[in-house]
Amino acid sequence: MAIEFTRVSRQEELKEILVLQEQNLATNLTEKEIEKEGFVTVTHTLDLLSKMNMVCPHIIAKDKGRVIGYALCMHPDFSREIPVLLSMFEQIREVVPKEQLYMVMGQVCIDKAYRGKGIFRGLYKTMKRSLNSSFELIVTEVDGRNQRSLNAHLAIGFNTIKKYQSDGRDWYLIAL
């Protein structure tokens, strides 16, 4: 298995991200799958993904030319585009100093068949290397119910910078 870690350069790759996202939305999974495999919360449109990609290309993992994992780059300029993320950006503004440049990892997802093979770590390693000269922090949040994701983020070096509640859920705001 020769996994290629790169940045989105074609519209077809954005469409493949959306297929993977759809397959892993919490609303499309059973409680058992959510507990075992984790889930994603936000649904993006092709238009929004494209706009975000123009500002900062997303990080993807590909196997035989097919997207099998992604980590979305969401510049703070998009903070008002997704209603469910408004509270996250509000929390970021409270704890990250204004002068500190950061990028939000807008969502990470790996195809079920490729989990546990280092893809998650590879996506973040590529993201960190790609953004290193422009941003001091990579910030994201994880739903407290998504223990698989939270544990994976903490294992690769993310630190919790704030825990808060929004929409009746516990959220962990974390930074790398």
Q: What domains are defined for the chain?
A: 4-175 (3.40.630.30)
Residues 170, 145: Cα–Cα separation, whole Å: 8
111-119 average pLDDT score = 95
Average pLDDT on 73-80 reads 93
Contact 86, 74 (CB under 8 A): no
Q: What is the mean pLDDT of the chain?
A: 94
Question: What are the C-alpha distances in Å from 69 to residues 6, 114, 144?
Answer: 11, 8, 22
Amino acid 166: pLDDT? 87
Q: Indicate whether 65 pLDDT > 90.
A: yes
Those residues with Cβ within 8 angstroms of residue 8's Cβ, 6 or more apart along the chain or in another chain:
14, 17, 53, 57, 58, 59, 60
Report the largest interatomic distance among the alpha carbons of the chain, rounded to a whole angstrom.
43
pLDDT band at 154 (very low <50, low <70, confident <90, very high): very high
